[in-house]
A and B are shown apart, each in its own frame.
Chain A
Amino acid sequence: MLEIIGLGCVRGDRRLFSNVDFSLRPGSFLQVQGPNGCGKTSLLRMICGLLEPAEGEIRWEGANIRSLGEEYSAAMTYIGHRNGVKDELTASENLRVSCGLGGIDVSENEASSILDTVGLKGRERLPARLLSQGQRRRLALARLLACRTPLWILDEVLTSLDKDAIALIKSIVEEHLQSGGMAIIATHQELNLSAGSFQRLELAS
């Protein structure tokens, strides 16, 4: 279970948000919304531990994520604005390396079947620089399927994806929630998931 208590964010001398509270139980899903520049990305980066909270606390299974350290990193997958895809590596290598860094060894066959699922069939051996924006996004999302961590934190996950890909993401997240996972997603679009309990967090500007 993830608990956020009285979280506040200050960037420079601007206060982006304060007193953000929520808790996320297994099988539930939080959609973060708000106008551009309201601190959605900062909130997600705080929750995954990249950004130190100015005030408040983030707890995972009852303990502060700072004290958990690597244990928390192993329980979470974060996909940010930047896809984390290396141009020089092939699609399959990209997937295997990012899972390997997460501590999960994925064989070449597993990697191609996952890439097949996200619609990158036949492009496993293509250097990632030859992929389109949407395809890179799909490649980044393939990580979710490979590393089955309980908590997913996805920032603007639907940008540059086509209809099929959005449907695919929805089904992946639904399946994740059904099997007791948690997800935090910052997006402007409505996801309308049919599974899991839904919460919405509206950040004001």
Chain B
Amino acid sequence: MSAPSTLSILRWLVWRDLTLAWRRRADVLSTLFFFVIVVSLFPLGIGPETNLLRSIAPGVVWVAALLASMLSLGRLFANDYQDGTLEQILLTPQPLYLLVVAKIFALWLVSGVPLALIAPLVGVQFGLPQDTLLVLTISLFIGTPILSLIGSIGAALTLGLRGGGVLVSVLVLPLYVPALIFGAGAVEASIMGTSPQANLSLLGAMLALALVFAPWATAAGLRISLE
């Protein structure tokens, strides 16, 4: 028997999750629509007051991204848990840490990336200038993987619980706060005409930190949930 190659196993896992997401694209699209609709409600409700809209835009877009990424967490492990494939994944001859990273990466590709890509379009409704839209997109590109990583801990811990959805939000939303502050802070700085670099750097540091610790905590959570 040849030694199982880590890369090929991870590739299978990512391929599998992306194929599943494609076959259930209604789920993916509904998260994206949720984001677009929530963000669009604010300009409609407030009216065409450019200054007010501009000052609330960073917070509104980021909070909507937070909520949309919460919605996508349910897909991360729950389906695999129900049909028994999660057991198979746990018994895969690879460190669970890497498998969790692969699963989160696949989730981010179908939940975080579309959000970041569509953000400039919804940002236009708030009358944001062009360079601010760019900062918004960049901040979401760095920020959404943090949200998926931190959220995966909550998803793993609440696996198999009844009413887990509400519990996930209670567990995870407070942990999202630093990402929200620096993500929205970067966009705000750009609106004020100052450099968003400090905020973006802090966001990047948080991503590095989350990448190291979150999959490890998620792996431990999965082992507990499956006992």
Contacts and interface: CB of A to CB of B under 8 A. Distances in A.
B194 interface: no
Interface stretch (B8-16, B28-36, B212-220): B8-16
A73 B93 contact: yes
Interface string A57-88: 00000000000001101101010111111111
Interface stretch (B18-26, B115-123, B128-136): B18-26
Interface in B133-161: none
Nearest to B224: A52
A1 interface: no
A70 B15 CA distance: 22
Quick one: which of A48, A49, A82, A103 has the most chain B CB within 10 A? A103
Contacts of B15: 97
A78 B93 CA distance: 12
A40 B3 CA distance: 32
Contact of A103 (B9, B87, B227): B9
Instruction: Report the interface size class on chain A.
Output: 20 to 34
A97 to B, nearest CB: 5
A85 B91 contact: no
A101 B9 contact: yes
Contacts of B82: 82
Decide if the interface of chain B is mainly helix, strand, loop or mixed.
helix
A21 to B, nearest CB: 23
A63 B16 CA distance: 33
A102 B4 contact: yes
Contacts of A89: 16, 19-20, 23
Given A84-B83, A103-B9, A50 B16 contact: no
Contacts of B95: 70
Contact of B84 (A73, A84, A88, A105): A84
B92 interface: yes
Instruction: Report the interface size class on chain B.
Output: 20 to 34
Contacts of A83: 83-84
A85 B79 CA distance: 11
A148 interface: yes
A93 B84 CA distance: 16
Contacts of B92: 73, 101-103
Contacts of A105: 8
A180 interface: no
B89 A50 contact: no
A101 B87 contact: no
Contacts of A73: 91-93
B87 A74 contact: no
Contact of B227 (A52, A81, A88): A52
A52 B90 CA distance: 14
Nearest to B89: A101
B4 A74 contact: yes
Quick one: which of B13, B23, B95 has the most chain A CB within 10 A? B23
Contact of A87 (B8, B16, B83, B89): B83
Interface of A: 48-52, 70-71, 73-74, 76, 78, 80-89, 93, 97-98, 100-105, 148-149
Given A49-B91, A50-B87, A86-B85, 9 more contacts: A50-B91, A73-B92, A73-B93, A81-B84, A85-B84, A98-B88, A101-B92, A102-B92, A103-B93
